[in-house]
Structures are given as structure tokens and as C-alpha cells.
């Protein structure tokens, strides 16, 4: 290697960013014979491929050069209007388009939040377990992570209150609907209690919602944002409901935060891909999103049902699990006799992949947990693989 290399000094934050073990596993998942519960990928058979192709053609015809030129940092205004209307129709929330910033996937929203709020040593509170991408993104700004246990219906509120009152928590990050990795959805009661505890604290609520539209019931629970609009940032994404390759997400917050988030975004990538925003908006204004969502919800629910049936039928009672009512993931807790990493080594030999839960903790990882994705494995394969997995335990 080049001699000059010895001199390269990376910033202190660089080694602190955890590598994505998941992405490493996903590389193995490219083998077509492998049955993978490891990914976090939406099922590509549900992408509106034909429709987006038609929309791409229309966008070139209708808008010409303007889709290829530099565009506003805030994002394509009609797309922001669509998101605003959707918040209103889903939750009765009035969030004007000016309070919505289009981001390059909601992953970028996490980066912008880090830039806006996190200084080295600041305390950031995560659910336990939490989304790995948030851990990675926030890590760049060198916070001290604190954690609060997640139960089947949301955070442990007693613990939550204790942590918030005894520490100076800069931000609390949560995915209240069908969390990645656990699949947990906050109950209405837990939403109200969590918001009430946050209410008089000097803590920003970061509510990430990539899966909320993929519910297996018709129950519509209010976002935490609705209880704390001035103190919250809400993140959304088209990745799980339309197509992740377009990298289009958003951030909704009060005007003071948005104004600064725009400055951060401008310095980060000027603006999000313009062509993709136009195509997406063309799709949303020409097709019925609810009809499309129904297809996703129906298919994922079927696969979730098969998974729950397998967990019930094949697995020993020493294995416990959550029953997700939406999203893409189920969460297993193994008996003390085996760790998830050990099980994974056996599973890989049998051509089965999943993600050990220990990657989803900021500290003291729970070695007995694992995440199973159900959006990408069809019923028959799923039965076969889960039966094999159960036999290994």
C-alpha cells in the first residue's frame, strides 16, 4: 500500500460508527438457494413497476428540462402537498407543505437530525432494541446512548420516566408502529403516557414511521407527534410502500426546525434527486395509493400469518416472540441454552439466514434475540425453513 497512507488521520468519529452486520449478511443472501429472513427489503413483486415506468415517460413529456435541472432544497412542492394531505386524511393533522422537507430516504433525515441536535457527549435515548441505521447515523455525532426497554405494547413507561427525569436527554428516538427490529406497535395508552412524560422535558421526540401504512388491521392510532407537535420531528418514507431505490423520504417538524434542517440539507446534498420526486408524484396523483397499500398489507399479512403459525406449531415453548400487527418483522427470544449467533452459524449451513438481535442494541446486547423478516419469503419456503430452524433449537 502507498507510503503516504501511514499519515492519514481519520476523525475521532470514524471508528465509532458500527459496521452494518446486516449488510454483510445480505451479501450472502444473494445466493438464490438461500432462504433469507435477514433482509429488511420490501417485496419487489409489489413494486408498481409498470405504473412507475408509465409515469417516468409522462414526466419527461410534461416537464422536460425542469426535471433534470437543480431544484429546491425543500423538495418538489406538489409532493410535499401530497404528504401534507395524507397526514390530514390519516390522522386529521394539519401539517402544511412548508413544514415538510423531502430527504434522500428517511436515513438522510436521521443524518440531518444528528446535525441539528447532537453534540459530542449529548445523551440520546433509544428503544431497546432500536433501528441499526439510526444507531449508525447518530453515532457520527458522538452522543452517549441511553436505552429504555421495549415491551409488547411500547416502552416501559416507568423506566422511561425515570431516565428522562434523572438525565438530560437531548432526543428520544422511537418507531411506534411495527418497529424495526421488534415489530412492536405502541398501544394508544402507551402513546398517551409516553407523550405525557415527554411533555415537560427539554427533549426532542424523533418519531420514525416507515411502516405505519403497512398495518394488518384497520385501527388507526395517532402518532406521538399529534400530542407534542412543537417538540417533535416526524419521519416518513416511500421506501417500504412504493420503492426504496428512489430514496425518497421526508421530515415533518415545526417551522423553526425545518428552516434549519433545510440549511443542513443544502450543505449535505443540495437537494434530493429531482427526477425521482417527479415520477413518484406523478404516480401518487394518477393511481390510488390506498389500493396499492391494500395489496402490500394483504400479502404481508398472509406471510405474517404463516410465520406466526410456524412459530406456534414448530417452536418449543421456551422460545417466545412478539405478534406483529403490521410491518415486516417478527422478534424471537431464545432460551438461555442457545445464543442467536450460535443458531445463525447452524442456520447458514442449512441455507437459512436471519439477523441476530444483538446488532440492535447500543450497549449490553441481548444475545438471545433475533429478527425474522416475513416480507420476502413465500409460505411454503417459510414453513420449510422455520421447521428446520425450530429443530436446531
> In the complex with its own copies, which residue's Cβ is closer, 61 or 288?
61
Binds its own copies by CB under 8 A, chosen from 32, 65, 288, 291: 65
| Shortest spacing between CB 122 and its own copies, in angstroms | 8
Q: How many residues bind its own copies (CB under 8 A)?
A: 88
Question: Binding to its own copies (CB under 8 A): which residues in 160-189?
Answer: 170
Q: Does 104 bind its own copies (CB under 8 A)?
A: yes
Task: Determine the Cα angle at 103 with ends 98 and 105, to 5°.
Answer: 145
> In the complex with its own copies, which residue's Cβ is closer, 143 or 386?
143
> In the complex with its own copies, which residue's Cβ is closer, 76 or 315?
76
| Shortest spacing between CB 340 and its own copies, in angstroms | 23
Which residues on adjacent β-strands are paired with residue 371?
A: 331, 355
Question: Binding to its own copies (CB under 8 A): which residues in 121-160?
Answer: 122, 133, 136-137, 139-141
CA–CA gap between residue 36 and residue 125 (Å, rounded): 31
Question: Binding to its own copies (CB under 8 A): which residues in 35-54?
Answer: 41-42, 44-45, 47, 49, 52-53
Cell 405505519 maps to which residue?
212
| Shortest spacing between CB 145 and its own copies, in angstroms | 15
Binds its own copies by CB under 8 A, chosen from 75, 80, 97, 117: 117
Q: Pick the stretch among 179-187, 263-271, 301-309, 364-372 that binds its own copies (CB under 8 A).
A: 263-271
Binds its own copies by CB under 8 A, chosen from 57, 96, 316, 335: 57
Beta strand 355-356 with 100-103 is unpaired
Amino acid at each position: 500500500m502507498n507510503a503516504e497512507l501511514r499519515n492519514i488521520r481519520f476523525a475521532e468519529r470514524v471508528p465509532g460508527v458500527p459496521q452494518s452486520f446486516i449488510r454483510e449478511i445480505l451479501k450472502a443472501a444473494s445466493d438464490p438457494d438461500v432462504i433469507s429472513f435477514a433482509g429488511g427489503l420490501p417485496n419487489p413483486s409489489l413494486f408498481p413497476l409498470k405504473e412507475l415506468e408509465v409515469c417516468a415517460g409522462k414526466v419527461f413529456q410534461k416537464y422536460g428540462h425542469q426535471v433534470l435541472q437543480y431544484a429546491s432544497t425543500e423538495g418538489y412542492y406538489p409532493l410535499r402537498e401530497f404528504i401534507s394531505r395524507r397526514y390530514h386524511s390519516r390522522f386529521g393533522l394539519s401539517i402544511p407543505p412548508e413544514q415538510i422537507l423531502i430527504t434522500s430516504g428517511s436515513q438522510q433525515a436521521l443524518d440531518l437530525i444528528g446535525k441539528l441536535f447532537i453534540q459530542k457527549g449529548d445523551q440520546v435515548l433509544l428503544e431497546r432494541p432500536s433501528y441499526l441505521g439510526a444507531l449508525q447515523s447518530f453515532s457520527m455525532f458522538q452522543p452517549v446512548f441511553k436505552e429504555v426497554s421495549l415491551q409488547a405494547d411500547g416502552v416501559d413507561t416507568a423506566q422511561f420516566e425515570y431516565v428522562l427525569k434523572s438525565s438530560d436527554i437531548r432526543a428520544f428516538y422511537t418507531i411506534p408502529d411495527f418497529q424495526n427490529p421488534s415489530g412492536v406497535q405502541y398501544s394508544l395508552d402507551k402513546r398517551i403516557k409516553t407523550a405525557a412524560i415527554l411533555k415537560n422535558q427539554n427533549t426532542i421526540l424523533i418519531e420514525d414511521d416507515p411502516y405505519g401504512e403497512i398495518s394488518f388491521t384497520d385501527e388507526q392510532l395517532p402518532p406521538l407527534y399529534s400530542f407534542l407537535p412543537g417538540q417533535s420531528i416526524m419521519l416518513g418514507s416511500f421506501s417500504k410502500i412504493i420503492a426504496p431505490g428512489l430514496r425518497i423520504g421526508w421530515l415533518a417538524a415545526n417551522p423553526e426546525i425545518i428552516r434549519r434542517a433545510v440549511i443542513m440539507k443544502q450543505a449535505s446534498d443540495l437537494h434530493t434527486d429531482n427526477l425521482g420526486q417527479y415520477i413518484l408524484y406523478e404516480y401518487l396523483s394518477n393511481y390510488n395509493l390506498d389500493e396499492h397499500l391494500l395489496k402490500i398489507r394483504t400479502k404481508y399479512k398472509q406471510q405474517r400469518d404463516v410465520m406466526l403459525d410456524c412459530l406456534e406449531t414448530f417452536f418449543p415453548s421456551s422460545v417466545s416472540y412478539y405478534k406483529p400487527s403490521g410491518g415486516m418483522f417478527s422478534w424471537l427470544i431464545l432460551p438461555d441454552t442457545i445464543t442467536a449467533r450460535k443458531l445463525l452459524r447452524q442456520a447458514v449451513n442449512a441455507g437459512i439466514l436471519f439477523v441476530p438481535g444483538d446488532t440492535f442494541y447500543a450497549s449490553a446486547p441481548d444475545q438471545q434475540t433475533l429478527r425474522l423478516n416475513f416480507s420476502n419469503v413465500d409460505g411454503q419456503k417459510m414453513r420449510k425453513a422455520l421447521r428446520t430452524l425450530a429443530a436446531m433449537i
